[in-house]
Structure 1
Amino acid sequence: MKTKIIMALLLISSLSFSQDKLITKTGTITFEASVPSFEQVKAKNSGVSCVLNTKTGEIASLALLKGFRFKVALMEEHFNENYVESDKFPKATFKGKIENFDLSKLTTTANNYTIKGKLELHGKSKDIAITAKIKKGKDGIEIVSDFTVNTDDFDIEIPSVVSKKVTKKVNVRFEFVLK
């Protein structure tokens, strides 16, 4: 009898705990490392996971690097083999916190929030602070941000042969709808 009561309490507590978390497995990250006058270096990953704890404002995201798609297959191959070494470092993660996050104060108008945390890529970690627009959308909480990442911070080497065609300052955009 005690076992049944304990199991019931665990189930109830896990259900109430899970209501504090919103999630997506179909978030999008797009990055561009193009240089004017050369071929566009741009990729998109539409299978990015993100979890938001609505009580604490803690947020975490995971992107599998082999999920990035380029217009040119050779770029995708070079990205995975030579730049991010996705067999050795298969994922990029972010763990952080949205400052002053209060779910009850979100409206259908986007407001700017600062998100601080740790970005891990290519086996290196870097503390970052970014600005994101957050609002209530018809399908859930929408979070969008544009920021820049420096390849040197993650020991991603750009070969001299293409150094004039690819920038070290990579523009990143993520879009999440959390439910």
Structure 2
Amino acid sequence: MKKNLLLFLLFFSISIVAQNKKVATNGTIFFEASVPFFEAVEAKNNKVYSAINTKNGSIYFEVYISLFQFERSLMQDHFNTNYMESHKFPKAYFKGVIENFSINDLSTSPNQYYIKGRISIHGVSKNIRVTASVFKTVQNAIVIQSKFALNTDDFKIEIPSLVSNKISKTVNVTLYTNFH
């Protein structure tokens, strides 16, 4: 009897924890590091993995660097080989929390939140704090949208002097994810 009760409580507690977690595998990250009067430096990745705990607002993102798609394949090759060294650093991560998050406060109108945590790119980790719009869809999915800037120097991403005037050290990032 005790064994059955213990198994029931274990199963019940696992299902409660699972209800607090939502996962998305098709989030999008777009970045641009263009300089006026030169060719656009921009790419998009539609295979961003993310997870949110709706009870405490903790959030996680993971992205494969090599899945960023550029308009020109040569630019994509240089990005992976020369700048991001995706063979050595295949993923970027973010682990953090949405400050003052409550699932009960979400509506179909976007609310502004701060998301703080630790981002790891190119083998370097850094604490960041960015703003994000968070809202629920009519289908009860949670959507997170954010725009923020990162600096290549912060992550030891070297831009060769030959092209340094054509690529911005400030990288503008746009994030979109939809937790169903």
TM-score by length of 2: 0.95
What is the match of residue 173 of structure 1? 174
Matched residues in 1 for 2:168 and 2:148: separation?
14
**C-alpha RMSD over aligned residues:** 1.2
Q: How does 1:53-132 map to 2 (within 5 A)?
A: 53-132=53-132
User: Is residue 162 of structure 1 aligned with residue 163 of structure 2?
Assistant: yes
Q: Distance in 2 between matches of 1:64 and 1:95?
A: 15
Deviation track 1:63-87 (CA, whole Å, cap 9, x = no partner) reads 0111100000011111111111111
Whole-angstrom distance in 2 between the partners of 1:154 and 1:124: 5
Distance of 1:136 and 1:162 partners within structure 2: 43
What amino acid maps onto 1:119 in structure 2? I
Instruction: Give identity over the alignment, percent.
Output: 49
Shift of 1:50: 0.8
| Residue of structure 1 in register with 2:134 after alignment | 134
Deviation at 1:56, TM superposition (A): 0.7
1:148 corresponds to which residue? 149
Q: CA deviation at 1:163?
A: 0.5
State the 1:5 CA deviation: 4.5
User: Is there any run of 5+ residues in structure 1 with no aligned partner, and where?
Assistant: none
Deviation at 1:30, TM superposition (A): 0.4
Report the secondary structure of 1:34's partner residue: coil
- Deviation of 1:3 after TM superposition, in Å, equals 5.1
Name the CA distance, whole Å, in 2 between partners of 1:65 and 1:6.
44
